[in-house]
Amino acid sequence: MKRLFVYLGITFAVTYACEFTLMAFSDTLTLMGASSVSQVVVALVMFVPLIGVAVTCAIFRDKFSLLPVRPNIRGNVKWYLVALFGPAVLSAAGAALFFAVHPESFDASMGYYTDMVVKQAQAAGQAVDGGTARLALFGQMLLAMTLAPFFNMIFAFGEEMGWRGYMMPKLCERVGPKGAVIVGGVIWGLWHAPITAMGHNYGLDYAGFPWLGILAMCCFCTVVGCLLTWLTFKVGSVWPAALAHGALNAVSGASVYFVKGGSYDPFVGPMPVGYIGGAAFIALAVVAYFALDRSFCSFPVKTEPAAPDEVEAS
């Protein structure tokens, strides 16, 4: 348990230090292009959990090579395909449900964002009509489902090595897989707290800001964390989870293109961070949750030496 606390202490301390510094200088950064600076900082802190694992292993002289780093592709190609396309399918299902419940919000022509693309192009001195703008948006969605997940996977690996590869096995040993999914989801959600307070996913203008957003993020991370944990233990590697994480980051915002007027409640949908937009994720997570058991949640090797009282007499 000591290793887990050291890992979490390092990971949270470094992450919060970076993100609270970003918040403290937000006014200055606005003049310098805060959007791009913020995106770079948020992307880089995704490697902090990996750094936390490496430092913790160094402190306790554990072998980093014992962690589930090998991709184990042979015999698991189908799970990599699930990781690649699953987030898009689940996001689309949740968005479809949202627009079925709120048909007045649906705009098949993507008018609001089409106009935005046209105006941005005109401001840059380019002649772009609505049809070309719509093709550009469809092109972005195609890239989000195919190439972007592999690029995002590089950054997502930093998180998954820490959360699924290191934290979850240790939590499973202490509280069982079902308890680990809940505890781990809350931890992962709280790790996002500073950027949630900066408006990530839920914005800045809502009742109960930022605590309601942090609570919602903990719930979302618990749901997604359950699915990523299932993938990790099923394949015996963090790479499918990293790919799925990268795919989710790539496609999660695509559904807002179809929102009439560009106005929506993120706590509801159509993005998967809302309870309707994320309904398909929630349903599948419930199934995965009950499929987790102690025999399923184990790697071929332990991530730390067993305590003396855990060794059976021969």
pLDDT value for 297: 62
Answer whether residue 234 is part of any domain: yes
pLDDT tens track for 33-74? 445 667 788 889 999 999 999 999 999 999 888 889 999 999
Q: With pLDDT > 90 as the criterion, what percentage of the chain qualifies?
A: 75
Interatomic CA distance for residues 54 and 40, integer angstroms: 22
User: Are 222 and 189 contacting, i.e. CB atoms less than 8 angstroms apart?
Assistant: yes
* Cα→Cα distances 302→173, 178, 201, 305, Å: 10, 19, 36, 7
Range of the domain at 31: 2-301
Model confidence at 298, pLDDT cuts 50, 70, 90, reads: low
Answer whether residue 17 is part of any domain: yes
For 259, the 3-state DSSP assignment is strand
Q: In degrees rounded to 5, what are phi and psi of residue 234?
A: -65, -45
Dihedral of alpha carbons 15, 256, 153, 178, sign:
positive
pLDDT tens track for 64-90? 888 899 999 999 999 999 999 999 999
* β-pair partners for 106: 259
Q: What is the mean pLDDT of the chain?
A: 90
DSSP 196-242: HHTTTTT-S-STTTTHHHHHHHHHHHHHHHHHHHHHHHHHTSSHHHH
Dihedral of alpha carbons 43, 49, 51, 52, sign:
positive
Interatomic CA distance for residues 176 and 236, integer angstroms: 17
Answer whether residue 200 is part of any domain: yes
Q: In degrees rounded to 5, what are phi and psi of residue 300?
A: -60, -25
Interatomic CA distance for residues 73 and 240, integer angstroms: 9
pLDDT tens track for 140-164? 999 999 999 999 999 999 999 999 9
Answer whether residue 256 is part of any domain: yes
* Cα→Cα distances 11→138, 188, 239, Å: 37, 11, 20
| DSSP symbol at 167 | I
User: What is this structure's pTM?
Assistant: 0.91
Answer whether residue 307 is part of any domain: no
Interatomic CA distance for residues 135 and 154, integer angstroms: 28
Answer whether residue 311 is part of any domain: no
Look at the block and give the residue holding tokens 């991370």.
221
Is the pLDDT reported for residue 29 higher than 80? no
Answer whether residue 14 is part of any domain: yes
Q: Which residue has the higher pLDDT, 126 or 2?
A: 2
Q: Average of pLDDT values for 176-180?
A: 94
Interatomic CA distance for residues 146 and 19, integer angstroms: 30
Interatomic CA distance for residues 289 and 282, integer angstroms: 10
Number of domains into which the chain is organized: 1
The tokens for 1 are 């348990």
